[in-house]
Amino acid sequence: MTAARGLGHARELTGLQRDDKAAIHAAMRVDEQLDKGDIDGRAVWLRVLKAVEELLDKGPPGKHDRVH
Q: 9-26 pLDDT, tens per residue?
A: 666 655 554 566 888 888
User: Coil, helix or strand for 65?
Assistant: coil
pLDDT for the residue numbered 22: 82
What proportion of the chain, given as a percentage, has pLDDT over 70? 54
- 64 belongs to a structural domain: no
User: Coil, helix or strand for 57?
Assistant: helix
Of the candidates 15, 45, 2, 13, the one whose C-alpha atom is nearest the C-alpha of residue 27 is 45
What would the mean pLDDT of 49-54 be, rounded to a whole number?
Answer: 86
The reported pTM is 0.62
Q: Taking 80 as the threshold, does the pLDDT of residue 32 lie above it?
A: yes
- 12 belongs to a structural domain: yes
pLDDT for the residue numbered 6: 61
- 16 belongs to a structural domain: yes
Number of domains in the chain: 1
Q: Which domain holds residue 18?
A: 3-58
